[in-house]
Amino acid sequence: MKIICLGDSLTEGLGIAKVNAWPAVLQNELSVEIINKGISGDTSTGMLSRFYHDVVLNNPSHVIICAGGNDLWWNVDLNYILSNIYSMVKQAIHNNIQPIIAIHPPIHLENINHKEVWEPINGFETFVLKAKELAERIEQMVEINQFNLIDFRIPFQHHQQLKTEFFEGTDGVHPNELGHIALAKQAYQTMKEI
């Protein structure tokens, strides 16, 4: 098994050492080769444009696609985001790579550091609403097409309350090391079942 993790700052591990980002933690759990292809600030369009180079040419058995967060920041239409994710999934399947779609965890609105974080184009409240809608649409896509899913929202919520300890010492958007451990555990649960 060889896994490529394709994504944005959440995958890259912005704000923490790369050895503590969830792909590295997952690699230690699974004892398989995992290549982190997260680029901070990247969009689903950027990931699609580099899919062949960053994924196909590395010949993995699996690819985890974690896209959409930065698209929402720029208020990109949901159908456009979904079409990019769908295209990456189909390219993976065409190249005999098993795709896994990931849903981003929530952000900690009350803990946003406005000096470090540029506000989304339509504001944080709209971003949160659209993130929820995107997650629901991804769930529909996954269910209809029988794709694999990692729902990174799950470990971040406890009885509908955000686990704020995952954001202590951060900008409120990117989780800390504890949050990345939780992300890796969630990914591990999915990978065990595949």
Buried b (16+ CB within 10 A) or exposed e, 73-112: beebebeebbebbbebbebbeebebbbbbbbbbbbbeeeb
pTM of this structure: 0.95
Task: Tell me the per-residue pLDDT of 50-99, one tens digit each, with 9 for 90 and over.
Answer: 999 999 999 999 999 999 999 999 999 999 999 999 999 999 999 999 99
Per the prediction, the chain carries an average pLDDT of 95
pLDDT of the residue at 20: 97
Query: pLDDT tier at 159 (50, 70, 90 boundaries)?
Result: low
- Please choose, from the candidates 38, 72, 68, the residue with its C-alpha nearest in 3D space to the C-alpha of residue 55: 38
Three-point CA angle 154, 90, 48, nearest 5°: 80
Phi, psi of 135 (to 5 degrees): -60, -40
